[in-house]
Amino acid sequence: MGAWSHEPFGNDTANDWAYRLEDVQDLSLIEAAFDAVNNNEGEYLDASVAEEAVAAAETLAHLLGRGAQMDSCTEKVQRWAKSVSARPNPALKNKARQALQRVLADGSELRELWEETEEYPEWQESITTLQVAIGA
């Protein structure tokens, strides 16, 4: 796990995902990240898929004006959120809610990796804060 922080964009995968935002002016990349988690029901959830969904949820929170992480790692996300006219609908927020619940559930590699660290409570709290920010 290439992580330096428990925050949504505190890892390599999330930051790589954010660079792909530059290629879209709609919410398709965000929705695809949630779908990748939600369509994985009953299977082991790979950490990188979960990290992208968490990044997508943080991006959604920025679109709603409630970003939980505001630092140099999210500058490109903040710029992107200001540049797009698309706004999230209730169905997308529901997909986000389901994806974050799945990331926290049994069978999530990301959760298992964080459980092995001393920062697990902070990571868990960051996901909960994100759920609140998106209204999940």
Residue range 39-72, pLDDT digits in tens: 987 899 999 999 999 999 999 998 998 887 666 6
- The per-residue pLDDT for 70 is 67
User: Would you say the C-alpha torsion 121, 125, 95, 56 has a positive or negative sign?
Assistant: negative
Buried b (16+ CB within 10 A) or exposed e, 66-86: ebbbeeebbebbeebbeeeee
Cα gap 117→99, rounded to integer Å: 22
Query: Is residue 132 packed enough to be buried (19+ CB in 10 Å), middle (13-18) or exposed (0-12)?
Result: exposed
DSSP letters for 108-122: BHHHHHHHTSTTHHH
Predicted TM-score (pTM) of the model is 0.93
Residue pLDDT, tens place only, 2-27 = 777 888 888 899 999 999 998 999 99
